[in-house]
């Protein structure tokens, strides 16, 4: 028996120590850094996280009919940009193409940002719900004390039985609200664990929310410009479009085979051209969508700021009224039931205020997602690229002609933001160079005494084009 007790004690100690290893407290910034790292298989995580988010929606739908309406905010900004990247059932089918592989890389950035955006909002919801539970527990104590007081009067054969039953129902309703919110928080925290690729057995405590950081531009116009310039969705569309153009070219030459042109050739070429047009339209649609969402988000932020100001005034007035009500109750002018009603009313207004602060955080998080402020990508610096320099080098010199090369020089980070450089001379076809390692080198021949202009188009990875020209003797 003694040995059994020792073994049981050791087993309990090992179990307790193993659980303590899994216990961890993370703040919002730490969670963001973990998601932005490359330690997780982003596609697999997005599949699981996407399903977890759907489960939250189902749970919320089930709870809402049984929860007081003012306990929740409806996250109207939750869908920001979600439509600009594929859902798990619509991943692009990538083939052995450099452009498509690059599109997939930028698409992964978009998906990572969507997960980051979603779990940030879930984190806010969890902490907001925890605050709501704390306030509800205060309400519960007040209502319990009132119920017990009425019960004592009923036992003495006095008081109103109907009023007592009403108090009993209020206590039960608040207890039910607390349990349902705690249940919803379990779902919200589960989705955060999935986004972090954490073992569900771990005990993760979410640290207190930081102060609201309005790290966003002052004007809508500035925000729109930054959002479009930083959007990895635009990079995805750009590379998909380039790949579609390559496929169109491939379809154009597909008749070169042992089978001849074939009856399917015209329709195959039309299909590839149609794909390119669709992606081109999607590029324009994405820009328009980003502009509209930025505008809408800034309008929502302005409205919620006004609502917060008004709600603060309401809470301040009700706090003053509550102090006065206690004096009236002590003087016998105000009944206990009326006092409890006023006190509970103040706590309900405080929950509304917390909801508004949470709503403001969610709107700001949505704007920061639109601006891609937490992306791992470097923003496109078209001005710095435009300030790059051309250099020429003699390859071979002869009496009447000289063969030269021209290349474009910018920093390595800026070079990675250039997709291609197109060189052309009036009367001659264009030549496109994509080789960054050679500084987009282009070989040409020039004849002395004949001045011509080399037209140059620098195509950036976001689709922008910088036009330059260099005088040469051809």
10 occurs within a structural domain: no
Q: Do 353 and 389 lie in a common domain?
A: no
Give the contacts of 323 (CB within 8 A, at least 6 positions apart). none
CA distance 292 to 224: 9
> Predicted confidence band at 303 (pLDDT cuts at 50, 70, 90)?
very high
Of the candidates 382, 100, 416, 415, the one whose C-alpha atom is nearest the C-alpha of residue 238 is 100
pLDDT in tens, 213-238: 788 999 999 999 999 888 888 888 88
DSSP 68: -
Place of tokens 């635009």: 234
Last residue of a domain, one of 329, 350, 370: 370
pLDDT in tens, 379-416: 788 899 999 999 888 888 777 778 888 899 998 889 98
Domain residues for the domain of 256 are 18-87+97-206+213-370
- What pLDDT shows up at residue 378? 77
Structure-block tokens of residue 220: 């809508």
- What pLDDT shows up at residue 96? 40
Residue 469 phi, psi (nearest 5): -150, 150
Last residue of a domain, one of 370, 396, 431: 370
Q: Do 467 and 353 lie in a common domain?
A: no
Residue ranges with strand state E in 119-254: 204-206
222 occurs within a structural domain: yes
Q: Which residue has the higher pLDDT, 12 or 59?
A: 59
Give the angle 263-266-271 at the CA atoms, nearest 5°: 120
Q: Is the confidence at residue 25, as pLDDT, over 80?
A: yes
4 occurs within a structural domain: no
Cβ neighbours, 10 Å, residue 157: 6
CA distance 222 to 347: 40
CA distance 77 to 363: 6
Query: How far is residue 444 from each of residues 64, 370, 397, 441, measured CA to CA in Å?
Result: 71, 44, 12, 10
Contact predicate 232/116, CB 8 Å: no
Residue 418 phi, psi (nearest 5): -100, 125
How many domains would you assign to the chain?
2
DSSP 209: P
CA distance 90 to 325: 60
11 occurs within a structural domain: no
Q: Do 264 and 325 lie in a common domain?
A: yes
CATH number at residue 462: 2.60.40.10
pLDDT in tens, 146-165: 999 888 888 887 778 888 89
Long-range contacts of range 105-110, CB-CB < 8 Å, 24 or more positions apart? 106/232, 106/233, 106/235, 106/236, 106/239, 106/377, 107/232, 107/236, 108/42, 108/43, 109/232, 109/235, 109/375, 109/376, 109/377, 110/81, 110/84, 110/85, 110/232, 110/233, 110/236
Q: Is the confidence at residue 172, as pLDDT, over 90?
A: yes
Rounded average pLDDT over 168-173: 92
Q: Do 399 and 357 lie in a common domain?
A: no
Burial of 323 (0-12, 13-18, 19+ CB in 10 A): exposed
65 occurs within a structural domain: yes
428: helix, coil or strand? coil
Of the candidates 45, 62, 78, the one whose C-alpha atom is nearest the C-alpha of residue 362 is 78
Which of 19-23, 99-103, 412-416, 468-472 shows the lowest mean pLDDT across its residues? 19-23
Residue 159 gets the label, from left (phi > 0), alpha (psi -120 to 50) or beta, of left
């Amino acid at each position: 028996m003694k040995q059994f007790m020792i073994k049981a004690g050791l087993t309990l100690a090992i179990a307790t120590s193993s659980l303590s290893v899994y216990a961890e407290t993370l703040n919002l910034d730490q969670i963001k850094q973990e998601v932005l790292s490359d330690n997780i298989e982003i596609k697999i995580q997005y599949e699981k996280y996407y399903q977890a988010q759907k489960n939250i929606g189902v749970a919320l739908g089930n709870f809402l009919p049984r929860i007081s309406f003012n306990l929740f905010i409806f996250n109207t900004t939750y869908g920001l940009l979600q439509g600009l990247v594929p859902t798990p059932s619509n991943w692009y089918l990538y083939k052995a193409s450099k452009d498509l592989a690059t599109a997939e890389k930028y698409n992964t950035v978009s998906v990572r940002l969507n997960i980051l955006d979603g779990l940030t909002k879930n984190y806010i919801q969890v902490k907001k719900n925890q605050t709501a539970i704390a306030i509800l527990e205060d309400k519960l104590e007040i209502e319990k004390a009132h119920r017990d007081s009425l019960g004592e009067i009923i036992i003495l054969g006095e008081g109103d039985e109907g009023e007592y039953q009403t108090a009993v129902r209020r206590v039960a309703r608040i207890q039910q609200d607390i349990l349902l919110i705690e249940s919803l928080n379990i779902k919200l925290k589960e989705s955060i664990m999935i986004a972090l690729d954490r073992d569900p057995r771990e005990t993760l405590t979410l640290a207190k929310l930081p102060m609201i950081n309005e790290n966003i531009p002052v004007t809508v116009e500035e925000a729109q410009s930054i959002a479009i310039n930083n959007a990895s969705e635009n990079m995805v569309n750009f590379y998909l479009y380039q790949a579609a153009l390559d496929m169109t070219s491939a379809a154009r030459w597909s008749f070169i085979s042992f089978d001849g042109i074939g009856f399917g050739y015209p329709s195959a070429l039309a299909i590839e051209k149609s794909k390119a047009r669709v992606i081109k339209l999607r590029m324009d649609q994405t820009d328009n969508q980003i502009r509209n969402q930025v505008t809408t988000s800034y309008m929502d932020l302005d409205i919620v700021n006004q609502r917060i100001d008004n709600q603060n005034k309401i809470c301040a007035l009700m706090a003053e009224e509550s102090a006065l009500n206690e004096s009236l109750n002590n003087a016998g002018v105000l009944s206990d039931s009326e006092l409890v009603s006023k006190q509970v009313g103040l706590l309900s207004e405080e929950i509304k205020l917390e909801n508004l602060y949470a709503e403001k955080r969610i709107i700001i998080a949505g704007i920061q997602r639109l601006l891609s402020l937490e992306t791992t990508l470097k923003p496109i610096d078209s001005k710095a690229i435009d300030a790059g320099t051309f250099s020429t080098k003699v390859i071979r010199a002869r009496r009447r002609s000289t063969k030269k090369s021209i290349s474009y020089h910018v920093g390595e980070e800026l070079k990675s933001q250039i997709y291609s450089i197109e060189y052309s001379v009036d009367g001659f076809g264009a030549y496109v160079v994509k080789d960054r390692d050679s500084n987009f080198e282009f070989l040409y021949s020039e004849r002395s005494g004949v001045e011509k202009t080399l037209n140059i188009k620098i195509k950036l990875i976001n689709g922008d084009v910088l036009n330059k020209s260099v005088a040469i003797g051809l």
